[in-house]
Amino acid sequence: MQSDSIDVRYVARLARIALTDEEVDRFSEQLGDLLHHVDALSELDTNIVAATAQVVESRNVTRSDERRPSLDRETVLEQAPRRQGNFFRVPRIIAE
Amino acid sequence: MGDFSIERGAADIARAVTAGSVSAADVVEAILSRVDAVDDAVGAYLTPLHDLARRTAANVDARIRTGERLPLAGVPLAVKDNMCLTGTRTTAGSKILEHWVAPYTATAVARLLHAGCVPIGKANLDEFAMGSSCENSALGVTRNPYDLVRVPGGSSGGSAAAVAALEATIALGSDTGGSIREPAAFCNLVGFKPTYGRVSRYGLIAFASSLDQIGPLTRSVEDAALTYDAMAGFDTMDATSVDREVEPSATALREDLRGLRIGLVRQFDTKLLGPEVDAAYRKAYDDLAACGAEIVEVSLPTADYGLATYYLIAPAECSSNLSRFDGVRYGLRVEAKDVQAMYEETRAAGFGPEVKRRILIGTHALSSGFYDAYYVRAQKARTLIARDFDKAFAGCDLIACPAASSPAFAFNAKSDPYSMYMMDYYTIPMSLAGLPALSVPCGWVTPPGGSVPMPLGLQLCAPQFAEPLLLGAAHAYERTTGHATQHSARVEAVSP
């Protein structure tokens, strides 16, 4: 399996979480320790084993494409950190 | 105002309210008085719901007067605060949802309200249900009603403390790797995790979707069965809920264990838990035999890999589920110079350390170059663990083992994350296999440095969908041994 190290700065960037230097150091140590523990899985012979994603029988669920009642728009928008009219307001994404 | 005893169980309350010998309003006033008296000390609730409780109780009384039959009429309910209830603050114990008001109600909650339950409050939890002590809540401290210097367990710690301190009669919890069973063991309760998919997860704030399951925490097996019967079953709003008939459990309670084979797991050596705890579990196994069960040995050779498997799969799913908290549609937003910085600063300020750790390890396990070595390998290990249970259940009807690695510990006793994870060593394998399992009180030990006896929980586990058998057997054990009634919670001593 992999080594017990984790590039915490890189992973935090992927996960969209800003970390302080102190957090980077602490999480590197703690998560390296955890990875050391999970490396035990390499002792198992899993070559001919299927992966389990779901433990009870599951099937595809579909429904007809029809309008149904949904949450009230105003109730939902009231929870928005910022809104403008009937829209969620977000920071500028495309530069001018 | 009737003189209602808050120690009464759900079955008893429902009968009395249905018969008209006590009103739901009287029941709820008595419970709310208890909350007012002790919750400053216990801290079970993040959001008590006095007004909603009174309105709901009045409505239950009106429904009874019109002749409606309600299996849980007037039963006071604590709801873990990762389940939605329309119009109430629903925080998941996180700063990122500290002020979020749910616009809809979780199916499990809705079904219990339909059955006559009265919501008393939203109960504290480890942030996003990640933890085993409730110490990871960003919004409050919950104490163990049996010894206030100790944790109530987690992540459903507020739910457990509420029921143990008589601030509710029953509670809803959620269990991903042990989050119902471990706090139940710590607080002298019955804590029941049904088969994966038996109870709808609609309206449960997701942590690890292939593992999360809602279940009850109660002071008796009978109450757990009644609660389960009222909420189990298929729900079109949860695509993973199982479309299969639910056999009632409350009518399957047994008085003995004759004809049942109960398996003890060869690999689970309770001597490792110390002489007092070891002796308590040996006594519990002897009691199962005394109730008429045939005790056999079973083998779960891969169960020891459960923790490693879980701490890849659960964080991987968590990192995906929690990506929705981005500061755009609901919850906290920290304004920043651009959208990328807004995401990063919002999530930095909104999530606590344990949630960050799990998102990071999950993101790592799913990232390019590591996916096969970590995530896929863990899913394969999960297959092996589930197969071990299949083989074990060829030789027994139920499996018995500890529900937690120790009795309730003191605050700040588990500063190293992995030592906290070890608390769920015995509950995680069942979660990975999707099996129904519960914790039932099985004895008392005074922990090193402790001043009072603390409860221990016996875990019983059944094959998928064998809930009636599991609850029926737990009822026989509970009735025969009577451990839960040996000591009372001590919150009286500190109430104002």
3-state SS class at B170: strand
For the record, the structure tokens of B397 come out as 């009807």
Residue with tokens 């059955």: B115
CA B235 vs. chain centroid, Å, equals 21
B 199-218 residues inside an 8 A Cβ radius of A: 210
In whole angstroms, give the CA distance from residue A3 to residue A36. 8
CB contact under 8 A, B240 and A58: yes
Q: How far is B366 from chain A (nearest CA, A)?
A: 10
Give the strands of the sheet with B437-445, arranged side by side: B45-48, B118-123, B76-80, B170-175, B213-218, B190-193, B437-445, B454-461, B398-402, B261-265, B294-298
- Which one has a higher pLDDT value, B420 or A93? B420
B250-254: average pLDDT: 95
For the record, the structure tokens of A1 come out as 């399996």
In whole angstroms, give the CA distance from residue B389 to residue B394. 9
B302 interfacial to chain A (CB closer than 8 Å): yes
Work out the mean pLDDT of chain B and round it to a whole number: 96
pLDDT at residue A5, as a whole number:
80
B 465-494 residues inside an 8 A Cβ radius of A: none
pLDDT at residue A4, as a whole number:
66
DSSP line for A1-70? ---S---HHHHHHHTT----HHHHHHHHHHHHHHHHHHGGGGGS--TTPPP-S-SS--------------
CA A11 vs. chain centroid, Å, equals 11
CB contact under 8 A, B305 and A44: yes
3-state SS class at B118: strand
For the record, the structure tokens of B416 come out as 């190293």
DSSP line for B173-216? EEESSSTTHHHHHHTT-EEEEPPTTSS--TTBPPS-TTT-EEEE
**B67 Rama class: left (phi>0) / alpha (psi -120 to 50) / beta:** left
B357 interfacial to chain A (CB closer than 8 Å): yes
Reference B208, options B229, B177, B169, B239; nearest CA is B177
A15-25: average pLDDT: 97
DSSP code of residue B99: T
3-state SS class at B133: coil
Reference A54, options B196, B485, B401, B338; nearest CA is B196
Question: Which pLDDT band, with edges at 50, 70 and 90, does B89 fall under?
Answer: very high
pLDDT at residue A25, as a whole number:
96
Encode pLDDT of B179-203 as tens digits.
999 999 999 999 999 999 999 999 9
Question: Considering only alpha carbons, which residue of chain B is nearest residue A22?
Answer: B353
Reference B462, options B400, B385, B386, B405; nearest CA is B400
Find residue B98's DSSP bridge partners.
none
Encode pLDDT of B19-61 as tens digits.
999 999 999 999 999 999 999 999 999 999 999 999 999 999 9
Residue B59, judged by CB atoms within 10 A of its CB (0-12, 13-18, 19+), counts as middle
pLDDT at residue B204, as a whole number:
98
DSSP code of residue B147: B
CB contact under 8 A, A17 and B302: no
In whole angstroms, give the CA distance from residue B80 to residue B93. 10
Q: What angle do CA B387, B393, B396 make, to 5 degrees?
A: 155
Encode pLDDT of A35-86 as tens digits.
999 999 999 998 889 988 888 877 788 889 999 999 999 999 999 999 999 9
Decide if B222 contacts B255 (C-beta within 8 A): no
Instruction: Give percent of chain B with pLDDT exceeding 90.
Output: 97
B94-99: average pLDDT: 98
pLDDT at residue A92, as a whole number:
84
Chain B residue numbers touching A71 (CB-CB < 8 A): 103-104
Encode pLDDT of B7-23 as tens digits.
999 999 999 999 999 99
Work out the mean pLDDT of chain A and round it to a whole number: 90
B227-231: average pLDDT: 98
Question: Which pLDDT band, with edges at 50, 70 and 90, does B96 fall under?
Answer: very high
Encode pLDDT of B301-310 as tens digits.
999 999 999 9
Instruction: Give percent of chain B with pLDDT exceeding 70.
Output: 98
Reference B192, options B433, B430, B454, B11; nearest CA is B430
For the record, the structure tokens of B320 come out as 């995906």
Chain B residue numbers touching A31 (CB-CB < 8 A): 357, 360-361, 364
Decide if B278 contacts B242 (C-beta within 8 A): no
Q: How far is B383 from chain A (nearest CA, A)?
A: 5
pLDDT at residue B1, as a whole number:
46
pLDDT at residue A3, as a whole number:
55
DSSP code of residue B410: B
CB contact under 8 A, A15 and B347: yes
pLDDT at residue A58, as a whole number:
76
B322-349: average pLDDT: 96
CB contact under 8 A, A58 and B103: no
Question: Which pLDDT band, with edges at 50, 70 and 90, does B496 fall under?
Answer: very low
In whole angstroms, give the CA distance from residue B420 to residue A39. 19
C-alpha distance from residue B96 to each of B90, B101, B208, B285, B360 (Å): 11, 12, 18, 45, 17
Q: Is the pLDDT of residue B494 over 60?
A: no
pLDDT at residue A59, as a whole number:
79
B 426-445 residues inside an 8 A Cβ radius of A: 432-434
Decide if B10 contacts B75 (C-beta within 8 A): yes
- Rounded to 10 deg, the angle between the B24-42 and B10-19 helix axes is 150
Decide if B45 contacts B162 (C-beta within 8 A): yes
Decide if B69 contacts B82 (C-beta within 8 A): no
ipTM value? 0.94
In whole angstroms, give the CA distance from residue B413 to residue B420. 9
Q: Is the pLDDT of residue B248 over 70?
A: yes
pLDDT at residue A1, as a whole number:
43
Chain A residue numbers touching B100 (CB-CB < 8 A): 79
